[in-house]
Structure 1
Amino acid sequence: MEGVDRWVPYSTMTNPGRHASAITALPTEVGALIQIIQGVLVHSDWVKEYGLDETKLNSTARTTLPIAERLDDVLRRDSQPLNVQRSADKRSVGTCRDYALMLCSFLRCKGIPARVRCGFAAYFSNGWEDHWVCEYWDSGAGEWCLCDPQIDEMLRQRSQISFAPANVPRQSFMSAGEAWLECRRARADPASFGHGNVTGLWFVKINVLRDHYVLNGRETSSWDRWRDAPKPKRAVTGGELELLDALATSPEQPLVEIAPDW
């Protein structure tokens, strides 16, 4: 596919820095990389399920860190090689974006086109939950393959997930742009998309912008502060629709800088 090589070079967030040589020594098979990632990370929303004390989480738990800093944190907690699985209490605590970012970084380190995606997953609840995953380019199949490195055995059992984390079915995850277009065409209910009790077309808009940014090498942005938006600002205006339709249709287009007005 023309243009996939744009997702081989590191972005600022995916650059592993001094850890590149250690990553090079890891297996190339995606499933094996996912297992390694699950052995060094734990998700902040599920710490109780892993037997950890939520009150002891530090500031890195819900902050998406550059991979070089995240791996520094991993090795501060346990200096063993990355392919050694840590007990939960010795893993770095992050979010779904940290899992996706780490897999993306590992794959790029091995010369495989990979990118983080922002959208909605259908396998955690009855609705479509705000979520970040990773895609990599399968040159043999000539297509992007969807992975969710967060799905470990605990989540598989709790959410009754039957598919492998290295092969997420397309019907189980919608990119933000796909969700936006489905809502605009009245084929999906905007109220079924969101994060916690914040749902609706406004939240889908947030993820459309974040997915557009991430495909342009900006895995974090000011749109991550969506919780700061006052309720009167949590709306989509008619003047925004044309641009959002365009970004949803072609999220990989050159970056359009849009600053939040809250």
Structure 2
Amino acid sequence: MEQEFYAHHSNVTDPRDLSSLLVGLPNDLPALSKVVRGAVVHRNETFKRFGFEVPQERFKESEIRFFRDIVQFLGGMHERPADQRLAGTCRDFCITLCAVLRQVGIPARMRGGYADYFPPYAWDDHWVVEYWLDGPDWQIADPQMAEAAEHYAVDFDVDNVPRERFVTAGEAWLACRGGDQDPAVYTASVIEQAGMGVIQGTVVRDLAALNRLEVFPWDSWGLMTRNFDELTEEELTLLDQAAEIGAKGGPLDQAIRLYQEHPQLQAPAHIVGS
């Protein structure tokens, strides 16, 4: 069952021998989002939100790949002052929320795409969490935004982000391929790039996330390393297939089959871990 698959830990979200540090977690989404915000801060937002700059040497905290190592770094998931939280990126908010949701049995998965609430960008590269409660569909949570609404174009419940405010990489890819959208509107502002080459990478990373492999936004392998203008028809077709699955959020069996049958889509061992 799809929900059961996403209710279980991945290799990335599993706290392993540190699960005792998660005893007593609340079991509802708003409270768990608050736990995450008490443990993680975005490394680029601290000055305008909290009045301090993260030292450059602390930027490496966002390179902690596995949740177990995040828990070890923090010493638990208790709330702490902003300058003592993990200095991360949107991925750290999402991986931590995914992990604590799964820890209490709530299906959760990371999704890569583009949000429209980071002006002046029409659609900026971002990661969120989809979670499943009573159905009939997945809902979106953006744990990074709750304490930052006044700094962005956030006029909605960040624990239930409207679908029209976030598009998956698959939706963006298909809109551009079909001529319904200009690729230039999809940006990765942190690296000052936009267009199909940017979307291409996120399509592959999002497929990995649907396979319960939560990667860094800057991880690159296989089809991501190919210049968009040099992609063959076969490679474009494969990306179209990945995008169609990403746009629909599954079905899970198709996401797994496509990922497993095509080495160009599969993350290397150092990303997968063990």
TM-score range, shorter chain: 0.7 to 0.9
1:143 is aligned to 137
**Match of residue 85 from structure 2:** 91
Would the alpha carbon gap of residues 61 and 51 (structure 1) be closer, same or farther in structure 2, given more than 3 Å must change?
Answer: farther
Q: Which amino acid aligns with 1:195?
A: A
Residues 90-99 or 52-61, more deviating? 52-61
Shift of 1:4: 2.2
How many Å apart are 1:18 and its aligned residue? Answer: 3.1
Match of 1:243 in 2: 238
- Match in the other structure for 1:189: 182
Alpha-carbon offset, residue 65 of structure 1:
2.4
Kept in 2, the 8 Å contact 1:64–1:97? The answer is no
Report what 1:152 is aligned to: 146
- Match of 2:31, SS state, is helix
Task: Tell me the distance in 2 between the aligned counterparts of 1:167 and 1:34.
Answer: 11
In structure 2, what is the Cα distance between the partners aligned to 1:51 and 1:221?
Answer: 27
Residue identity opposite 1:63 in structure 2: E
1:112 aligns with 2:106: yes
Specify the SS of the correspondent of 1:120.
strand
Segments of structure 1 that go 5 or more residues without pairing to the other structure are 76-80
Q: Write the distance in 2 (CA, Å) between the matches of 1:160 and 1:221.
A: 25
Q: Residues 86, 221 of structure 1: CA spacing in aligned structure 2 closer, same or farther, 3 A cutoff? A: closer
Deviations 1:85-123 (A, max 9, x none): 211111111110111111111111111111011111111
Confirm whether residue 100 of structure 1 aligns to residue 119 of structure 2. Answer: no
Change (3 A) 1:160 1:128: closer
2:271 counterpart residue number: none
Q: How many residues align?
A: 248
Q: How does 1:8-87 map to 2 (within 5 A)?
A: 8-49=7-48, 50-75=50-75, 82-83=77-78, 85-87=79-81
- Partner residue of 1:257? 263
Aligned residue for 2:44, secondary structure, equals helix
Instruction: Give ranges in structure 2 of 5+ residues lacking alignment.
Output: 267-274
* TM-score w.r.t. length of structure 2: 0.83
Is contact 1:121-1:130 (8 Å) kept? Answer: yes
Which whole-Å CA distance do the structure 2 matches of 1:172 and 1:188 have between them? 16
Q: Describe the shift of the 1:249–1:160 C-alpha distance in structure 2 as closer, same or farther (beyond 3 A).
A: closer
Matching residue of 1:134: 129
Q: CA deviation at 1:234?
A: 5.3
Q: Equivalent residue of 2:65, what SS?
A: coil
2:204 corresponds in structure 1 to 209
Identity %: 33
Distance 1:235-1:43 versus aligned 2 partners, 3 A rule: farther
CA RMSD of aligned residues (A): 2.4
